[in-house]
Chains A and B, each alone.
Chain A
Amino acid sequence: MPSADAVTPPSAPARAGTALLERRQPPVIELRAVRAAYGRIEVLHGIDLALPAGMVMALLGPNGAGKSTVLKVTSGQLAPTSGCFHVMGRHVNGIAPDALARAGVCTIPEGRAIFPNLTVAENLRIMTYGGSSKREVEERAFARFPRLSERRRQLAGTLSGGEQQMLAMARALSSEPAVLLLDEISMGLAPLVVDNLYSVVSAIAAEGVAILLTEQFARAALAVADRVGLVSQGRVVAEGRPDELPDDLAAAYLGGLQAKGG
């Protein structure tokens, strides 16, 4: 029964046996020895990373480590200068971000990932490029974030920071992606809003969507993450279950998360 179709992400019950599936299914996203550069300046110096189907992986690390750059590579916004970028087992180096998006990789980039000069309703309309109809998108978004439906006609740029991030997350909800990439969705938000957003993330994860997310502050991310990757100076220096990470690294990069995250 498992892996009849290796490409579809496993359904929710299957997640219980992730350890088993891990070995059989190809990772939905895989980077092998990926190097990437902005112009002439290399930022990623050989990243090895595999996001197994149905897993939530958190990339943690200091400022400027290259977390966002990893997500730019995996969302097609930055082509690797060398190495392999695989999505669901296919070699896709140099693929365009919009093609990747239509193939089911949903990316919420760093910062406010909305169109400020478009209304909330128009922002939701753009999300229909992900494949769902206008009605489906609005229904899902408004069910999860009722605040947005009150502000349908408002310019998205005039929403509060939290509301803007809800609007951005609405795309993750509505486009039914196979893979979700989230870059610091907590940035600049109050803890309550962050908790709300992360409850959405766990709900999406519970549907079996593979998620790769970055966070500056580990607490929220570790609550949902199955695996953690530590990024430092353009390399993944450690990778494993949150409790597997070597203590010294965890202390150094995460500011003693073990103690806090439990």
Chain B
Amino acid sequence: MNAFLSFTVIGVVTGAAYAIAASGLVVTYATSGVFNIAQGAIGMVFAYVFWQLVDVWHWNILLATLVVVLVLAPVAGALTEVLFIRRATGQAWYVSMVVTIALFVLLLFLADWAWGANLHAAPSFFGDRGWHLTSKVLVTWHETISILLAGATAVFLRVLLYRTRVGIAMRAVVDNRALAGLNGARPAWLGTFSWALGAGTGALAGILIAPILDNLSVLALTFLIFYAYGAAVLGRLRSLPLTFLGAMVLGLAYSYAVGYLPQNSFFDSIPISGLRESLPVVMLFVVLLVMKQGSIEGSRVRAFRESVDVAPFTRSLVTGVLVVVAMAIAVSFMSVGDVVDVGEGVALGIVVLSLVPLAGWGGQVSLCQMTFAGLGAFAMAHVDGGSFLGLLAAIGLAGVVGAIVALPALRLRGLYLALATFAFAFAMDNMFFPTNVAFTYGGTIHVNRPGIFGLHLASNDSFTVFLTVVFCLLAIGLLALRRGPFGRLLLAMKDSEAACVTLGANLTRTKLAVFALSAAIAGLGGALYGAMITQPGATDFASEQSLPILLLAVVFGMATTSGAFLGGISYSLVSTKVQSLAPGIPNLQWALTGLAGIGITMNPSGTVPYVVRMFKGRFAGQPQAVVDLPATAPAAMSGVAAAGTVAAVTPPSGTAAVPTSA
């Protein structure tokens, strides 16, 4: 009985912190239309700031709480909105999501740089003191305060959103931004206010939840708050009461799972303890699966159009040959270290390339490409000592798992799909990759380089050229696919799923196919990446690694194959070459991808299309044709210049490009 009470108390306290973090997410989403994927990172950063104030600078703990929650975090949230989020208003829906992912990556980088080396316990209110629920069950003051604050937050938010004019106006802005402005409300400032509010709640949650961990840790703390996303999704990102309920269920389930699952070798094995660890995330996945279909953000998905014209077959072939030849020449002049860096970049480029058909053409977001890559590397290592068969196994395993993960994708779109894939990645991090079957806990496994057609590919030079060949073949194949009926179907699906269905296209098959295809490419890329670095470990394929991959794809042009190539190589070079210039700053590549991702609002279709258009514009006598369009209709209008034709913006429900074959 006492044990049960103890676990219940812990569960309620955890749930309370989840509730606060999740309600911040819901408020930000409901009032600015942006789901802040960085919420977990914001909570983490401010938990560290709190620690800095209390333990290092010896501030009074109450004063520190007030300053962090009411001043620092809201100011940071407001600044974020003004500097970055606001620019995404009116752009394709994925832009604001990419900005928050970039923010997430940047915050991880900053926290790691500032505090990553520290191992310290988080400060808690009144230490271990508390009051006795029963003679054996102690409830600390910190826990009591957490629960009370969750209740207070709930009441505060409820009153704010439904009783005050500013709260009602914040909801009005999401309903109809232009009309809110015509009423005289200031939509821009309301958005800023909602971000301030979201950051404040995130920080409060971070402070309250941090003492659960023995020591502050950048990733562990971020993901602890990330669990709250499950609660927010349970509340349909809209209902605060449901969100609170979801948070409590999550907190209790987590606590009981830790407390009551038996302790023996089976239950302590990595898959089971991993399941326990990732329970909230697994719940998030399940909730997403069973959630009512109609509740999916239909109206928020805006039509957007890519304008990149697809190279004809001969041109893509010639380009491919030129790239391979150039690479062959280049590697012969490079030092061994440089070749390895470039080779890793090309292999990563293949993983980035896997997003081109999926996200660039099909409009489906995935945050688990590195997980597919990890599966590929795993298969490669275990089948036939890494021969050509190993590559096939990598493609097969990743493809099949991709199709399985795609099952929720058949019903999910946009943000929910992103969250589901991220949850999957996170579960794999905990339950599969660290096992001895896979990469072993904290260790690495050996992946042999494959030999093909009697070719000897063991040397770095030849393997790098081989990777380039594989990349080019894949790119040429994908471009051929893009020109065909499947490619047109993908584009139509991105434009409007509803219109596709009305036209009789079978979206189920299309989505399954493109997911499997994308996962298979990522698996292949992962196998080759593993072979390139020869000793991959679980951390190489950890869930957070998928975020820079997505950012790279978007930054360089999600719909272009050349963007994937450049993205992979520059990421690799930044993490080695540029990194060596600043050895004191860890993970510089995260900083740069994060910054580039945040800048995506200025150029949503990516660097490569931008450069191409600039050149075309110059030659056609229309310098920088597309660059200075107003933010309201950039995607739809871009490329019109080059074609010289006139197009109108597709309305959200409007007609999609008609698939010529279904």
By a beta-carbon cutoff of 8 Å, the part of chain A in contact with chain B is 38-41, 75, 77, 96-98, 101-102, 106-107, 109, 113-118, 122-123, 125-131, 171, 175
Q: Judging by beta carbons under 8 Å apart, are A122 and B168 in contact?
A: yes
Which of B499-507, B531-539, B565-573, B628-636 is the interface stretch? Answer: B628-636
B308 contacts the other chain (CB 8 A): no
Contacts A/B (CB < 8 Å), 28 sampled: A38-B632, A38-B649, A39-B629, A39-B630, A39-B632, A39-B637, A40-B629, A40-B637, A40-B640, A40-B641, A75-B182, A97-B181, A97-B182, A98-B184, A107-B182, A109-B178, A109-B179, A113-B182, A114-B179, A115-B172, A115-B175, A116-B176, A122-B162, A122-B168, A125-B165, A125-B168, A126-B168, A126-B183
> A102: which B residues are within 8 A, CB to CB?
184
Known: A102-B184, A129-B183. A115 touches B176 (CB 8 A): yes
Q: How far is the CA of A128 from the CA of B169 in the complex (A)?
A: 10
* Cβ of A63 to closest chain B Cβ, rounded Å: 14
- B382 lies within 8 A of chain A by Cβ: no
A39-B637, A101-B184, A130-B183 known, 14 other contacts, Cβ within 8 Å: A38-B632, A39-B629, A39-B630, A39-B649, A97-B178, A106-B182, A107-B182, A109-B179, A109-B182, A115-B176, A117-B171, A118-B172, A122-B162, A175-B184
Q: In the complex, are the beta carbons of A129 and B175 less than 8 A apart?
A: no
- B15-73 CB contacts (< 8 Å) to partner A: none
- Residue B119 is within 8 A (CB to CB) of chain A in the complex: no
**Those of B179-226 within 8 Å (CB) of chain A:** 179-187
Chain A-chain B contacts (Cβ-Cβ < 8 Å), number: 89
With both beta carbons as reference points, the residue of chain B lying nearest to A77 in the complex is identified as B178
Task: Report, as a range, how many residues of chain B touch the other chain.
Answer: 20 to 34
Taking the nearest CB of chain B, how far is it from the CB of A145, in angstroms? 18
Residue of B at shortest CB range from A75? B182
Does B117 sit within 8 A of A, measured CB to CB? no
Report yes or no: B649 in contact with A129, Cβ–Cβ below 8 A: no
Whether, in the assembled complex, B648 has its beta carbon less than 8 Å from a beta carbon of chain A, the answer is yes
Residue in B closest to A96 when the chains form the complex, CB atoms: B181
Contact call A117/B175, Cβ cutoff below 8 A: yes
Chain A min CB distance to B642 (Å): 12
A-facing residues in B123-151 (Cβ within 8 Å): none
CB contact under 8 A between A39 and B168, given known A98-B185, A126-B180, A126-B183? no
B360-384, CB < 8 A from A: none
Please, how many angstroms separate the alpha-carbon atoms of A102 and B185 in the complex? 8
| A101-B646 in contact (CB<8A) | no
Contact of B169 among A39, A109, A117, A126 (CB under 8 A): A126
Question: Closest 5 A-B residue pairs measured CB to CB?
Answer: A129-B184, A101-B184, A39-B637, A115-B175, A97-B181
Cβ contacts under 8 Å, B162 to chain A:
122
Main secondary structure of the interface of A (DSSP, over half): mixed
Bound-state CA distance A131–B183 (Å) is: 10
Name, among A39, A77, A102, A127, the residue most crowded by chain B CB atoms within 10 Å (CB to CB). A39
Known pairs A98-B184, A109-B179, A129-B184; A118 contacts B168 (CB<8 A):
yes
Chain B residue numbers with a CB within 8 Å of A114 are: 176, 179
Instruction: Out of B172, B174, B630, name the residue touching A126 (CB < 8 Å).
Output: B172
A39 and B633 form a contact (CB under 8 A) = yes
- Complex Cα gap A123–B180 (Å): 10
- Contacting residues, chain B, for A96 (C-beta < 8 A): 181
Q: Report chain A residues within 8 Å CB of B174.
A: 117
Among B171, B180, B646, the residue within 8 A (CB) of A41 is B646
A130 near B184 with CB under 8 A, answer yes
Please measure, in the bound complex, the distance between the C-alpha atom of A96 and the C-alpha atom of B176, giving whole angstroms.
16
Interface residues of B in 609-662 (CB under 8 A from A): 629-630, 632-633, 636-637, 640-641, 646, 648-649
In the bound complex, residues from chain B placing their C-beta under 8 Å from that of A116 are 175-176
Q: Which B residues between 251 and 302 are near A, CB-CB below 8 angstroms?
A: none
Selected contact of B186 from candidates A98, A113, A115, A117, CB within 8 Å? A98
Task: Report how far A101 CA is from B178 CA in the complex, Å.
Answer: 12
User: For residue A125, which residue of chain B has the nearest CB?
Assistant: B168
A98 touches B187 (CB 8 A): yes
Q: Are B179 and A113 in contact (CB under 8 A)?
A: yes
Partner of A129, one of B169, B176, B630, B636: B169
The docked-state distance in angstroms from the alpha carbon of A39 to that of B632 is 8
CB distance from B623 to the nearest CB of A (A): 14
- From A38, A101, A131, give the contact of B182 (CB < 8 A): A101
How long is the Cα–Cα vector from A129 to B183 in the complex, in angstroms?
Answer: 6
B634, closest chain A residue (CB): A39
Closest chain B CB from A45 CB (angstroms): 15
> Complex Cα distance A130/B183, Å?
6
Residues of B within 8 A of A40 (CB): 629, 637, 640-641
B637 contacts across to A, CB distance below 8 A: 39-40
Closest to A117 in B: B175
Across the interface, which residues of B come within 8 angstroms of A117, CB to CB? 171, 174-175
Residues of chain B within 8 A of A77, CB atoms compared: 178, 181-182
Q: B181 contacts A101, CB within 8 Å? A: yes
A41 touches B181 (CB 8 A): no
Most buried by A among B172, B186, B641: B172
> What A residues does B169 contact at CB under 8 A?
126, 129
Contacts of B187 in A (CB 8 A): 98
Closest to A171 in B: B183
Least distance between A113 CB and chain B CB atoms (Å): 6
Q: How far is A39 from B639 in the complex, measured between Cα atoms in Å?
A: 12
Q: Which residue of chain B has its CB nearest to the CB of A129? A: B184
> Do B183 and A101 have beta carbons less than 8 Å apart?
yes
Residues of chain B lying within 8 A (CB to CB) of residue A129 = 165, 169, 183-185
> For the complex, what is the distance from the CA of A115 to the CA of B186, rounded to whole Å?
16
Query: Complex Cα distance A116/B648, Å?
Result: 27
**CA distance in complex: A115, B640 (Å):** 34
**Chain A residues within 8 Å of B171, by CB:** 115, 117-118, 122
CA distance A131 to B176 in the complex (A): 20
**Would you call B636 and A39 a contact (CB within 8 A)?**
yes
Give the shortest distance, in Å, between A221 (CB) and chain B (any CB): 21
- In angstroms, Cα B649 to Cα A123, docked, is 29
Contact A127 B178 (CB under 8 A): no
Q: Which of A38, A109, A113, A126 contacts B185 (CB 8 A)?
A: A126
Write the nearest CB–CB distance from B655 to chain A, whole angstroms: 17
Q: How far is the CB of B209 from chain A (nearest CB, A)?
A: 31
